[in-house]
C-alpha cells in the first residue's frame, strides 16, 4: 500500500514540475519594430495579447530599434524577426546581407503625397516650384523626380528639403515645406481627425513601379536554416493575429493601445479600420508576395544606380510559411 501511495505522490510531483516549467519551455524570440508602435504592427501585438505565440510555444519580446536598424539586428541574430520594407531588403541583399521577407504586412503601397489644400497640389505636375519635405535619402529624391518626369513635368523644378522625422503639420504650418510623402493610413487619417483641409494622392496612381511591399516581416537565412520549424510556428501565430485584426479592427485597436498607450486613440481606431481592408486586399491570403512586384522595383533600383547588379528575387522573399 505504501509503495502505491509513494508512486502516486511521485507521479503528482512530476506532473506539478512539468506544469510549473511550461513558461520556461517556451522558445524565446525577439521581434524588432522598424519604428515606434503603429497600426502596421497590430497583428503582432494581437498575436502576443491573444496568446497565439504562447500556443505556438514561443515567448516573444517586441522591441524598438535602439542600437542599429531592424535589418542589422535581424541579420546579426540579435533579433530573429523584424519589420522592414521591400526597398531595404533589396539593398541588404545587394550588399550580401541575407535577409528574407516572409510576409507582406499590407498588400499594396498605401503611401502618397499630402499637402494643405491651398497649395493646389493634386498631381506630380503641381510639384513644380514647391518644397518637398523628405527623410533625406537619395532614393526618395529620385522617386519624386521620376514621378514628375513621367507626368510630363520638369524633374528639376521641385525644391527638396530634408526634414527627417519632423512633424508634417508643424513643418507645413511654418512654411518650411509644401508637401510630403506620407502613409494614408496614418498621417492622412490624422489630418482628417484634426479637420484639416488637405490634398492627397497615392503614388501608385501614377506608376506601378512603386506598388512595392511596405512594410514586410523579415528574418534571416541563418534563422531559417537553423530553426525552420520555429519560423513556421511564429508566422502561423502572426498570420492569425493579422486575420483577427482584419475581422475585428476595433478590438485590435484596443489591443495596440494597451501595449502603446501613448498613441492617439482616435487615430489608432481610424487607422485600424482603414487597414482592415488593406492588409490582404486582393491577395489570396494575408502576407502573400509576388515575384513580379519584387522584380519590377528591383529593376528600377538597378536602372537608377541604387544597386550594382540585379538580386535573385526568389531568394529575397518566400510565401512558404503562409500556405
Do 220 and 311 sit in the same domain of this protein? yes
Do 191 and 221 sit in the same domain of this protein? no
Q: What pLDDT shows up at residue 8?
A: 35
Q: What pLDDT shows up at residue 219?
A: 98
Do 63 and 206 sit in the same domain of this protein? no
| Region 27-56 average pLDDT | 97
Is 100 within 8 Å of 224 (Cβ atoms)?
yes
Residue 231 lies in a domain: yes
Give CA angle at 227 (224, 233), nearest 5°.
95
Q: What pLDDT shows up at residue 24?
A: 55
Write the CB contacts of 114 (distance below 8 Å, at least 6 apart in sequence). Answer: 168, 179, 180, 182, 187, 188, 191, 198, 199, 200
Do 230 and 206 sit in the same domain of this protein? no
Full-model pTM? 0.90
Per-residue model confidence as pLDDT tens digits over 181-201: 999 999 999 999 999 999 999
Residue 55 lies in a domain: yes
Instruction: For the chain, give the percent of residues with pLDDT over 90.
Output: 87
User: How confident is residue 167, by pLDDT bands cut at 50, 70 and 90?
Assistant: confident
Give CA angle at 154 (152, 155), nearest 5°.
105
Per-residue model confidence as pLDDT tens digits over 84-102: 999 999 999 999 999 999 9
Residue 57 lies in a domain: yes
Write the CB contacts of 258 (distance below 8 Å, at least 6 apart in sequence). Answer: 49
Do 166 and 218 sit in the same domain of this protein? no
Lowest pLDDT segment from 8-22, 128-142, 258-272:
8-22
Rounded CA-CA distance 248/243 in Å is: 8
Last residue of a domain, one of 176, 210, 244: 210
Do 119 and 204 sit in the same domain of this protein? yes
| Region 110-139 average pLDDT | 94
Instruction: For the chain, give the percent of residues with pLDDT over 70.
Output: 93
Indicate if the pLDDT at residue 314 is higher than 80: yes
Do 193 and 72 sit in the same domain of this protein? no
Question: Which contiguous run of DSSP H or E holds residue 82?
Answer: strand 81-84
Q: What pLDDT shows up at residue 320?
A: 97
Indicate if the pLDDT at residue 7 is higher than 70: no
165/236: higher pLDDT: 236
Residue 17 lies in a domain: no
Q: What pLDDT shows up at residue 82?
A: 98
Q: What is the mean pLDDT of the chain?
A: 92
What is the domain range of residue 63? Answer: 22-107+213-316
* Count of domains for the chain: 2
Q: What pLDDT shows up at residue 14?
A: 39
| CATH number of the domain that residue 185 is part of | 3.40.190.10
Last residue of a domain, one of 164, 185, 210: 210
Do 192 and 165 sit in the same domain of this protein? yes
Do 240 and 312 sit in the same domain of this protein? yes
**Largest Cα–Cα separation, the chain:** 96
Indicate if the pLDDT at residue 263 is higher than 70: yes
Sign of CA dihedral 189, 195, 196, 197: positive
CA nearest neighbour of 58 among 179, 186, 227: 227
Lowest pLDDT segment from 32-46, 162-176, 222-236:
162-176
Indicate if the pLDDT at residue 12 is higher than 90: no
CA nearest neighbour of 281 among 199, 194, 204, 173: 204
Residue 85 lies in a domain: yes
Do 186 and 219 sit in the same domain of this protein? no
CA nearest neighbour of 43 among 100, 92, 81: 81
Last residue of a domain, one of 182, 210, 238: 210
Determine whether 23 is exposed, middle or buried from the number of CB atoms within 10 Å of its CB (0-12, 13-18, 19+): exposed
Do 34 and 178 sit in the same domain of this protein? no
CA nearest neighbour of 177 among 187, 185, 166: 166
Amino acid at each position: 500500500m505504501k509503495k502505491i501511495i509513494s508512486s502516486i505522490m511521485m507521479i503528482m510531483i512530476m506532473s506539478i514540475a512539468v506544469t510549473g516549467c511550461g513558461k520556461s519551455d517556451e522558445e524565446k524570440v525577439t521581434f524588432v519594430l522598424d519604428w515606434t508602435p503603429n497600426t502596421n504592427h497590430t497583428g503582432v501585438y494581437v498575436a502576443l495579447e491573444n496568446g497565439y505565440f504562447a500556443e505556438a510555444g514561443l515567448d516573444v519580446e517586441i522591441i524598438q530599434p535602439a542600437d542599429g536598424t531592424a535589418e542589422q539586428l535581424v541579420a546579426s541574430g540579435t533579433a530573429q524577426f523584424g519589420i522592414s520594407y521591400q526597398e531595404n531588403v533589396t539593398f541588404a541583399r545587394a550588399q550580401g546581407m541575407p535577409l528574407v521577407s516572409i510576409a507582406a504586412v499590407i498588400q499594396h503601397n498605401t503611401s502618397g503625397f499630402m499637402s494643405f489644400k491651398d497649395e493646389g497640389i493634386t498631381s506630380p505636375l503641381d510639384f513644380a516650384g514647391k518644397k518637398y519635405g523628405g527623410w533625406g535619402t537619395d532614393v526618395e529624391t529620385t522617386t519624386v523626380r521620376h514621378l514628375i518626369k513621367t507626368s510630363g513635368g520638369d524633374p528639376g523644378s521641385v525644391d527638396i528639403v530634408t526634414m527627417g522625422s519632423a512633424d508634417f503639420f508643424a513643418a507645413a504650418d511654418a512654411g518650411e515645406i509644401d508637401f510630403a510623402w506620407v502613409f494614408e493610413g496614418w498621417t492622412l487619417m490624422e489630418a482628417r481627425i484634426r479637420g484639416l483641409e488637405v490634398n492627397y494622392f497615392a503614388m501608385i496612381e501614377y506608376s506601378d513601379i512603386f506598388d512595392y511591399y511596405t512594410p514586410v516581416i523579415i528574418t534571416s537565412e541563418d534563422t531559417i536554416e537553423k530553426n525552420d520549424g520555429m519560423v513556421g510556428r511564429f508566422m502561423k501565430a502572426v498570420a492569425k493575429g493579422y486575420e483577427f485584426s482584419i475581422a475585428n479592427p476595433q478590438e485590435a485597436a484596443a489591443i495596440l493601445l494597451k501595449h502603446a498607450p501613448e498613441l492617439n486613440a482616435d487615430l489608432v481606431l481610424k487607422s485600424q479600420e482603414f487597414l482592415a481592408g488593406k492588409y490582404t486586399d486582393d491577395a489570396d491570403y494575408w502576407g502573400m508576395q509576388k515575384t513580379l512586384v519584387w522584380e519590377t522595383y528591383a529593376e528600377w533600383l538597378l536602372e537608377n544606380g541604387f544597386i550594382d547588379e540585379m538580386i535573385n528575387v526568389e531568394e529575397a522573399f518566400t510565401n512558404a510559411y503562409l500556405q
